[in-house]
Amino acid sequence: MKETLLEVNNLVTEFRTKEGPVQAVRDVSFSVRKGETLCIVGESGCGKSITSLSVIGLLPENGRIANGEVRYKGEAIHNLSAEKKRLMRGSEISMIFQEPMTALNPVLTVGYQLREPLMIHHGMSKQQATTRGIELLNQVGIPYPEKRMNQYPHELSGGMRQRVMIAIALAGDPGLLIADEPTTALDVTIQAQILDLINELKDRLDMGVMFITHDMGVVAEVADRVMVMYAGQKIEEGPVEEIFDRPKHPYTRGLLGSVPNVDDPTFELHPIPGTLPSLTEQIQGCRFHPRCLFAMDRCRQQVPPEDDLGNGHYVSCWLTREEAVSDGVGTNDEGTATRSEDAPLKVAQR
């Protein structure tokens, strides 16, 4: 097994708000190894981006890590000074975002923006940085890289801008790349090309990738492992095949059920009913229970612990302990949910 690059233990990220402190990330733990992609998946607002911004040290001004730790190559990085965090970004850990135009400076040429990190992080001369910049553009599949060096971001297509952002992210030879919905704004063909590029770079450079998305189709393309988040918490984690073939949490099943399957004409879409709770909402028991088609009394009273199902598959759901959930659709919260008659699952508690 490859070296662990990133270890996040019991992360709690809090925001100061008018209503008092609220938690956007609640006791989340995970790791990323060299050469693997961990996909963090969940609906909009479930805490994916705040988890990644906590890792890279770019939280909004009213946010802070209130508990837990973030370790990179064994070293605690959550409590580094602002200056050390800045140096770490772009060298050890880089991030790419959904909309390259927000990350790229519109008044600076591609060449300038590529040379800057190379001169800062690698002490290169302008000439050396230009040569390396052209190499990086080549590496991310940009044709005529010499010409592109002199162009401004608005002169490039959306896909090309995303490639430029990836080239800039690679400039400091990062061990870990964080990609926050990098293909959401792109059309499907370009999206597939960017996903292929990220996969190829991960393998070639043996990088760890933390990939944030709400799209299970994208997860299927890039993930080695998947962490499913709901309302600031991790509710399920496992190798990608386990999550797709044997999803245990009703929320994960719901996410998979809300992906249209174009190859299957009999496929029926079952979107998850209801919406995420607000950060200020107090919920007793499992935070998903008000939306869960299979909620039992216990789910309304006690927070489910994380169970180890073996094979690197973990889930926090009382139901998994009791029985497997059927694939059918039941009624919500009335005790009349359809449940499977499958034998109880073997659950080894962690």
Ligand X SMILES: Nc1ncnc2c1ncn2[C@@H]1O[C@H](COP(=O)(O)OP(=O)(O)OP(=O)(O)O)[C@@H](O)[C@H]1O
Based on the shown chain and the rule CB under 6 A, indicate whether residue 248 belongs to the binding site for ligand X: no
Query: With b meaning 16 or more CB within 10 Å and e meaning fewer, what string describes 32-68?
Result: bbbbbbbbbbbbebbbbbbbbbbbbbebeeebbbebb
Query: With b meaning 16 or more CB within 10 Å and e meaning fewer, what string describes 211-227?
Result: bbbbbbebbbbbbbbbb
Number of residues that bind ligand X (CB under 6 A): 16
Q: Are 33 and 5 in contact (CB under 8 A)?
A: yes
Q: Which is nearer to ligand X, 51 or 113 (CB)?
A: 51
Q: Which is nearer to ligand X, 46 or 228 (CB)?
A: 46
Q: Which is nearer to ligand X, 148 or 249 (CB)?
A: 249
Q: How far apart are CA 159 and CA 141, in angstroms?
A: 11
Closest CA to 229 of 91, 2, 26: 26
Based on the shown chain and the rule CB under 6 A, indicate whether residue 175 belongs to the binding site for ligand X: no
Q: Say which residues have a Cβ less than 8 Å from residue 177's Cβ, sequence separation at least 6.
A: 93, 94, 95, 96, 169, 170, 198, 201, 202, 207, 208, 209, 210
Based on the shown chain and the rule CB under 6 A, indicate whether residue 42 belongs to the binding site for ligand X: yes
Q: What angle do CA 132, 133, 135 make, to 5 degrees?
A: 60
Q: How far apart are CA 117 and CA 112, in angstroms?
A: 9
Q: Which is nearer to ligand X, 34 or 287 (CB)?
A: 287
Q: What's the closest the beta carbon of residue 85 comes to ligand X, in angstroms?
A: 18
Based on the shown chain and the rule CB under 6 A, indicate whether residue 274 belongs to the binding site for ligand X: no
Q: What's the closest the beta carbon of residue 228 comes to ligand X, in angstroms?
A: 11
Q: What's the closest the beta carbon of residue 12 comes to ligand X, in angstroms?
A: 13
Among 5, 28, 39, 49, binds ligand X (CB under 6 A): 49
Based on the shown chain and the rule CB under 6 A, indicate whether residue 279 belongs to the binding site for ligand X: yes
Based on the shown chain and the rule CB under 6 A, indicate whether residue 201 belongs to the binding site for ligand X: no
Which amino acid is residue 232, in one-letter code?
G
Q: What's the closest the beta carbon of residue 47 comes to ligand X, in angstroms?
A: 4
Based on the shown chain and the rule CB under 6 A, indicate whether residue 48 belongs to the binding site for ligand X: yes
Q: Which is nearer to ligand X, 50 or 256 (CB)?
A: 50
Q: Which is nearer to ligand X, 15 or 211 (CB)?
A: 15
Based on the shown chain and the rule CB under 6 A, indicate whether residue 46 belongs to the binding site for ligand X: yes
Q: How far apart are CA 18 and CA 349, in angstroms?
A: 39
Q: Which is nearer to ligand X, 48 or 248 (CB)?
A: 48
What is the CA 188 to chain-centroid distance, rounded?
20
Q: Which is nearer to ligand X, 49 or 320 (CB)?
A: 49
Q: Which is nearer to ligand X, 98 or 139 (CB)?
A: 98
Q: Which stretch binds ligand X (CB under 6 A): 30-38, 56-64, 188-196, 288-296?
A: 56-64
Q: Are 284 and 301 in contact (CB under 8 A)?
A: yes
Q: Which stretch binds ligand X (CB under 6 A): 43-51, 123-131, 153-161, 312-320?
A: 43-51
Residues between 5 and 24 with contacts to ligand X, criterion CB under 6 A: 15, 17, 24
Q: What's the closest the beta carbon of residue 231 comes to ligand X, in angstroms?
A: 9
Closest CA to 143 of 129, 157, 125, 130: 157
Which amino acid is residue 96, in one-letter code?
I
- Going from the C-alpha of 20 to that of each of 17, 150, 200, the distances in angstroms are 5, 49, 45
Among 214, 300, 321, 339, binds ligand X (CB under 6 A): 214
For the chain, how many residues are written? 350
Q: Are 309 and 295 in contact (CB under 8 A)?
A: no
Among 10, 44, 157, 311, binds ligand X (CB under 6 A): 44
Q: What's the closest the beta carbon of residue 66 comes to ligand X, in angstroms?
A: 13
Which residues contact ligand X (rule: CB under 6 A)?
Answer: 15, 17, 24, 42, 44-50, 60, 62-63, 214, 279
